[in-house]
Amino acid sequence: MQLKDTSGNISVQSPSIPFQQIPALEQYYYDNKIVKAFAYATMLWALVGMLVGVLAAFQLAFPVLNFNYPYTTFGRIRPVHTNAVIFAFVGNGIFMGVYYSLQRLLKTRMFSDRLGWIHFWGWQGIIVTAAVTLLAGYTTGKEYAELEWPVDIAITLVWVIFGVNMFGTILKRRERHLYVAIWFYIGTWVTVAMLHIVNSFEMPVSFMKSYSWYAGVQDALVQWWYGHNAVAFFLTTPYLGLMYYFIPKAANRPVYSYRWSIIHFWALIFIYIWAGPHHLLYTALPDWAQSLGVAFSLMLILPSWGGMLNGLMTLRGAWDKVREEPVLKFFVVALTCYGMATFEGPMLSLKSVNAITHFTDWTVAHVHVGALGWNGFLTFGILYWLIPRIFQTPLYSKKMATNHFWIGTLGIVLYAVPMYWAGFSQALMWKEFTPEGTLKYQFLETVTSLVPMYALRGIGGLIYLVGAIMMVVNLVKTIKGGKLLANEAAQAPALPKAYVKTGKESWHSWIERRPVQMLVGSLIVVAIGGIIELVPTFLIKSNIPTIASVKPYTPLELEGRDLYIREGCYTCHSQMIRPFRDEVARYGEYSKAGEFVYDHPFQWGSKRTGPDLARIGGKYPDSWHYNHMLKPTLVSPGSIMPQYSWLLDNDLDTTLTAGKIRAMQTMGVPYEPGYHKIAVKELLTQAEKIKEGLAKEKIKTPARKEIIAMIAYLQRMGKDIKGEKAASTAANTP
Amino acid sequence: MSVLIILLIVSIIVAGGFLLAFLWSLKDGQMDDDFSPSIRILFDEKKQDKSTI
C-alpha cells in the first residue's frame, strides 16, 4: 500500500480508496483462555524445573542426596532439569507470550481454537512423557536432545500444529505490517523445526531405544549445531520477540528505534546459525570449521547488544516508572543479563579463553546468567503484567512482586559468582605443574576444593526458587480476586486486498502472492528431499575407519556403553582429551577423530565434574571399577560421584543385543554378516572372562550382571589406538 | 566430515529461506514505515489502560 500522496506528504490512508469503499469495522474477540492455560503451565513447570535444578545443585555438594536410587541420581536428574526449564518452563512461556501478542499485533483471533488446544495439551503431554522416560533411563545421550524417538516425533507434530496455527493467524490478519516481534516468532519456528529434525535422526532399535544416525565427530558437530541453536532459537529469538512487545507495552512507550529492531532481527538471524562449532574448539573438528564458528560468534555481539540497548533505551525518560513498577524492574535486569551473557558468549568463543573455561563451571555460570536473568526474569515480568490484564484486576501485591525481584536478583548473584569462581580456580588447578614438571593437583583435589562453591550455588538457586514461589502465590491470589475475560472484544477493519484479480489465474500465481506459504512449503520440500537423499549415503561412506586398529565394540561393551548412556555419565564426564600439555599429562594422548567412528551417539560431554574418561581403559583393575561403582568413596575418598550399586544387582538385559548389532550394521558399523546371531554368545563368553578375573581379585559376582558390561566398556575406552602404536612399533623393529 | 556438507546445505537452505522472506518483506513494503508500527502497538486496548492512554 502506498503511503505517500501526490504532494509527497505521508498519509495514513491510501488516497486511492474512495470514502464509501473504506471497509467497515469488524467485530472479533481475542482468545484469552488459551493464554491463561499456557500461563498456568508456565508457572507450574517453573516450580517443578527449578526444584529439580536445586536438587541437582545440592547433589554435587552432598552426594548423599542422590539417595542411592537410580531415578534420583544426578545423571538422570540433570537432563530432567534442563529439559524441564528449557522446554517446559520457557517453552510454555514462549507460547503464552506468542498467543497473547500475536492476536493483538495482527488484530485477529488465533487461526484455530482447536489447534491451539491440541498444541497446549500435546505439549504438556510431551513434557510429562519426557520427565517419566528420562527418569526411567530412556535417553539418547545427546545433551538437550535426550528424548527418545517416539517423543521426538510427537514434538515435531506439535511444533507443526503450532506453526499452522501461527501462520494461519498471520494470513487472516487485519494489519498488513508484521511487527518486528512476529518476525522473531517466524524465525524461531522455522529454525527450531529444522534443527530438531536434523539432530533427531535416529535408528530405532526398539520402541524406546535408538542410536544417533551420526557417529563420533559428525555426531558432535550436528549435536552442537543443534545445541547452540537451541539456545539461539528457543531461548533467545522468541524471547526477543516477546521483549519487543511486552517492554513497550509495560512502559507504554514505543521501542527506542523501530528501524534498529528490524536490523537487529535480520542481522541476528543470519549470523546465529553459523556459531555452533564454538562448542568444539580444540577437538577433532576441522580447523576451518572451528574458525568459522569463532568468527560468527564474535560478530554476534553486534546484533545482540543492539537489541539489548534498544530494549533498555525504550525506557529512556521512563526510569521513574522503573522505580515503582516491578514489571519494569524485571525487564531491566532481564535485558542487562542478556547483555552480559551475549558479551560473555563471544569472549568464551575465543580459542584462548575457551582453552581455560571449557569443561568447567564457568560455562554453567554463563548459561545460568542467561537462563535465570534473561529467560526467567522476562517471563516473570510478562506474567506479572499479563495475568492482571486478562483477569481484569490489579496485581494482588505489588510489594510482594518487588520483593520477588530483589530476592531473585540476589539468587542470580549467589548462583553465578560461586560458579565463576569455581570454574576459574578449577581450570587453573588443572593446568598447574610443579617445578619438576609433574601435575600439581590430583583431579579429585580440584573437585573437593569446589564443594563449598557448589553448596553456595545451591543456596543461590534455592533463593531464586523462593522468589518464584512468591510469584505463584501472588498471581494465584490475583487470579482469585479477578475474573477471566475469556473473549476480549476488539474492532478493526478488514485488511484491504492490495491485489486486484485480472482474468484467469493458475495455482502458481496464487502461491506467488503468498510468500509465507511458499517459504514454508519450499523449505519443507527441499529439506525433506535433501536430507533423505543425503544422510544415509554420506554417513555410511564416511564411517570407513581412518585408524586401522579402531574396531567396533564387542556386544558386551556395546551393552555397557548403553548403560553409560542410560545413567547419564556424560553429564559429568567428558571423553575428549584436548591437545594441551596438562590434559595429555593427566589423561594420555589427545583424542583423534578416527577413534570415534563407531560411537553412535558420541559421548564427548561438555563438562568435567569428574575426570575425562577417553583413555580410562586399562588404567585401573576391574576390581577398582567394581568397588568404585558400589561406592565411589571406597576407592577415592572425598569423591562426589553418586553410588551406582544397582549395577551390581541388576541382571544384564540381552533381549535387544542382536537388534542393536543389526542397527549398527545398518548404519555401517562393520560387524561380520550374521554376527547378530552369535552376539549374545560372544557377550557371555566375554562376561565370563571378566567374572573370572574379578574372582581372582576376590570379588564374587555372577557374569550376567550390568556391572560386568559397564566394566567391559570402561576397560575398552581409548585402548584401540594404543594397539595401533604397539603394532607400528612392532613392525618397525627388525 | 561429510556431515559438514549436510549441515551447510541445511543451514544455507534456512538462510536462503530467510533471505527470501527478507526480500519479500522489502517488496511488500514491510519496511517502508519504520516509525508508526512502534506507536501503533501501544493503542490496541480500549477497555484497559484508561489512565495511560
Determine whether the interchain pair B4/A221 forms a contact, defined as Cβ–Cβ distance below 8 Å. yes
Residues of chain B contacting A225 with CB distance shorter than 8 Å: 7, 11
Pairing of strands A25-31, A202-206: unpaired
pLDDT confidence of residue B13: 82
Half-sphere exposure at residue A134, Cβ-oriented, CA atoms within 13 angstroms: 29
Q: From chain B, which residues contact A within 8 Å (Cβ)?
A: 1-7, 9-11, 13-15, 17-18, 20-22, 24-25, 28-42, 44-49, 52-53
Pairing of strands A209-212, A487-493: unpaired
Phi, psi of B2, rounded to the nearest 5 degrees: -65, -20
Contact (Cβ atoms closer than 8 angstroms) between residue A518 and residue A167: no
pLDDT confidence of residue A549: 84
- A254: contact with B, CB 8 A cutoff: yes
- Global pTM reads 0.89
The rounded distance, in Å, linking the Cα atoms of A534 and A527 is 10
Q: Which of residues 305-324 of A touch B (CB under 8 A)?
A: none
How far, in Å, are A546, A657, A682 from residue A648 at the CA level? 36, 20, 21
DSSP string covering A649-685? HSBP--TTHHHHHHHHHHTT--PPTTHHHHHHHHHHH
pLDDT confidence of residue A528: 58
pLDDT confidence of residue A730: 46
Residues contacting residue A679 through CB under 8 Å, at least 6 positions apart: A555, A657, A658, A660, A661
CA distance A697 to chain B (A): 44
Residues of chain A with pLDDT under 70: 1-22, 497-546, 723-734
How far, in Å, are A3, A51, A366, A378, A552 from residue A381 at the CA level? 36, 20, 22, 5, 53
Residues of chain A contacting B22 with CB distance shorter than 8 Å: 266
The rounded distance, in Å, linking the Cα atoms of A658 and A656 is 6
pLDDT confidence of residue A88: 97
- A121: contact with B, CB 8 A cutoff: no
Q: Of A225, A270, A531, which is closest to B18 when you measure between CB atoms?
A: A270
pLDDT confidence of residue A270: 83
Question: Given CA atoms A701, A705, A709, A714 in this order, what sign does their dihedral have?
Answer: negative
pLDDT confidence of residue B1: 65
Determine whether the interchain pair A218/B2 forms a contact, defined as Cβ–Cβ distance below 8 Å. yes
DSSP A2: -
- Strand, helix or coil for residue A397: coil
- A222: contact with B, CB 8 A cutoff: yes
Pairing of strands A25-31, A487-493: antiparallel
CA distance A22 to chain B (A): 19
CA distance B23 to chain A (A): 10
The rounded distance, in Å, linking the Cα atoms of A191 and B18 is 10
DSSP A21: G
Which DSSP helix (H) or strand (E) runs through A203?
strand A202-206
Determine whether the interchain pair B37/A180 forms a contact, defined as Cβ–Cβ distance below 8 Å. yes
Q: Side chain identity at A31, as an amino acid letter?
A: D
Residues of chain A contacting B38 with CB distance shorter than 8 Å: 248, 254-255, 258, 261
Determine whether the interchain pair A1/B30 forms a contact, defined as Cβ–Cβ distance below 8 Å. no
What tens digit of pLDDT does each residue of A457-493 get?
Answer: 999 999 999 999 999 999 999 999 999 999 999 988 8
Contact (Cβ atoms closer than 8 angstroms) between residue A81 and residue A49: yes
pLDDT confidence of residue A521: 62
Determine whether the interchain pair A107/B20 forms a contact, defined as Cβ–Cβ distance below 8 Å. no
**Beta bridge partner(s), residue A181:** none
Does the complex come out with an ipTM higher than 0.85? no
Residues of chain A contacting B9 with CB distance shorter than 8 Å: 530, 534
The rounded distance, in Å, linking the Cα atoms of A630 and A68 is 10
Q: How confident is the model at residue B52 (pLDDT cuts 50, 70, 90)?
A: very low
The rounded distance, in Å, linking the Cα atoms of A375 and A384 is 14
Determine whether the interchain pair B11/A274 forms a contact, defined as Cβ–Cβ distance below 8 Å. yes
CA dihedral A203, A209, A215, A221 (to 10 degrees): 100
